[in-house]
Amino acid sequence: MSGERARDPWPVWPDGFTSGARERRAALVLSALAGLRPRTLLPVAADAGTAGACVELVARGALGSEEDRRFVHLLEADSIDAALGACGARTVLWDDPEYPPQLRTIHDPPFVLYVRGGALPAAERAVAVVGSRRCTDLGRDLARAVGRGLAAAGVTVVSGAARGIDAASHEGALEGGGPTVAVLGAGIDASYPRGSRALLERIRGQGAVVSEYPPGVPPQAFRFPARNRIVAGLCRAAVVVEGEKDSGSLITGSHALEFGRDVFAVPAALNNPLSQAPLMLIRDGATMIRSAQDLLEDLGLGPGSSGPPPDLTLAELAALEALTGPTLPDRVARELRVGLADALTLLMRLEMRGLVRSVGGRFEATLAAVPATRVR
């Protein structure tokens, strides 16, 4: 986090790679080539010096795939510009003053960012919150609470706009009235995943949507892991809520660790596939957090007040404590030594207060119930 160029462990773009109108146009063309990723382009760029020179290398067939060579003749910077204008996006280039300094310290930094919406956040005021698309209700609640807490503390929440945890953290931030940034794994004009158009629009209104791909680039599998390095790179810290063992969340967390960012992870049961990424990160040195309060405290963003514990009767408290993970109502009845009808009545009361939810015929405690059981 400290001293952007203090140690340059990875090759970066040469100064002036994208400066000037001509190089800017060349950079737009380069960014549209599917066969050219920053990793292959970076070593060449050091010798070539400018984006324009790289485009010429591609045109001669000395760089990139055969398809790139044919495609580069067809590409027109003007049409990219027109498409950018159509969707209201702007470019932030390597040599632009707006280019986020924290991104310069990561490996394979993008030489161009397409941005729709407001300003990009300063590193100190940005935290990434990522996790699984297929998440649990608990994970979603937590991501939302974290997003809300960060936004209330004036921190920008950065995530990937995917379903599940990503969407919940964005929504939490929007609820908290703070800016939030979504980094896409497709062209800047995409509304992907399907059904996220409304969310992306709200993010654009209250923060920014970012991509390293120009309009029209389709969402392809390889672009999502690549997107994760930008999510991690934009922030001073990353929070991983839920993720499986080979998930994108784990990639984001590992990137963040590599880039020297603070990493936080929320643990869950050992046998839960969704807890594998957080547990692995905790083993690798991430900090374990149990709540949004833990996170805010650790980031020095104010005291973690967890709010007063809900006011419960002894029977209700006992019912809450009988819920160890998703639990059958029969078992709750047995533990409390009451009839099933009474146990169901208790559980329903708790559910109406948002402290319990039913999942597939079993009941589990919600995030809101945690302070109640922790107090004893």
Partner 1 sequence: MYGRVIGVTVVGVRGHIVAVEAHIGRGLPSLTLTGLPGAPVQDARDRIRPAVESAGFEWPLRRVVVNLSPGNLRKEGAGLDLPVAMGVLTASAQVPAARLSGYAFAGELSLRGTLVATPGVLSVAMAAARARLEGVVVPADNAAEAALVEGLHVVAAPSLAEVVGFFRGTWTPPVPEAEHPAGSPTGHTVDFSEVRGQAQARRALEIAAAGGHNVLLVGSPGAGKTMLARRLATILPAMSREEALEVTQLHSVAGLLDGGRLRQERPFRSPHHSVSLPALLGGGSAFLRPGEVSLAHHGVLFLDELMEFRRDAVEGLRQPLEDGRVVVSRMAGSVEFPARFTLVAAANPCPCGFLGDPRRRCDCPEHRLQAYRQKLSGPLLDRIDIQLVVPRLSKQELLDELAGEGSAPIRERVEAARNRQRRRYAGTGYPCNAQLPGPLARKVARVSRPAWDLLAQAVDGMALTGRGFDRALKVARTIADLDGAPEVQADHVSEALVYRMNLVEEGLARVG
Contacting positions for partner 1 (CB under 8 A): 134-137, 163, 193-195, 273, 325-326, 328-331, 333, 340-342, 344-345, 347-349, 352, 357-362
Q: Residue 237 or residue 322: which is nearer to partner 1 going by CB?
A: 322
CA proximity to 260, closest of 238, 239, 279: 238
Q: Residue 141 or residue 212: which is nearer to partner 1 going by CB?
A: 141
Q: Residue 290 or residue 331: which is nearer to partner 1 going by CB?
A: 331
Decide: 366 and 357 in contact? Cβ < 8 Å. yes
Q: What are phi and psi of 114, to 5 degrees?
A: -95, 135
What dihedral angle (degrees, nearest 10) is formed by the CA atoms of 109, 110, 114, 115?
0
Q: Residue 122 or residue 328: which is nearer to partner 1 going by CB?
A: 328
Give me the least distance between CB of 366 and partner 1, in Å please.
12
Give me the least distance between CB of 166 and partner 1, in Å please.
13
Decide: 48 and 119 in contact? Cβ < 8 Å. no
Give me the least distance between CB of 221 and partner 1, in Å please.
15
Give me the least distance between CB of 330 and partner 1, in Å please.
4
Q: Residue 29 or residue 319: which is nearer to partner 1 going by CB?
A: 319
Decide: 294 and 304 in contact? Cβ < 8 Å. yes
Give me the least distance between CB of 189 and partner 1, in Å please.
21
Paired sense of beta strands 112-117 and 90-93, if any: antiparallel
Dist. CA 110–CA 134, nearest whole Å: 29
Q: Residue 73 or residue 194: which is nearer to partner 1 going by CB?
A: 194
Give me the least distance between CB of 360 and partner 1, in Å please.
2
Q: Residue 82 or residue 359: which is nearer to partner 1 going by CB?
A: 359
Decide: 310 and 371 in contact? Cβ < 8 Å. yes
Q: Is 149 left (phi over 0), alpha (psi -120 to 50) or beta?
A: alpha
Give me the least distance between CB of 219 and partner 1, in Å please.
14
Q: Residue 79 or residue 345: which is nearer to partner 1 going by CB?
A: 345
Give me the least distance between CB of 273 and partner 1, in Å please.
7
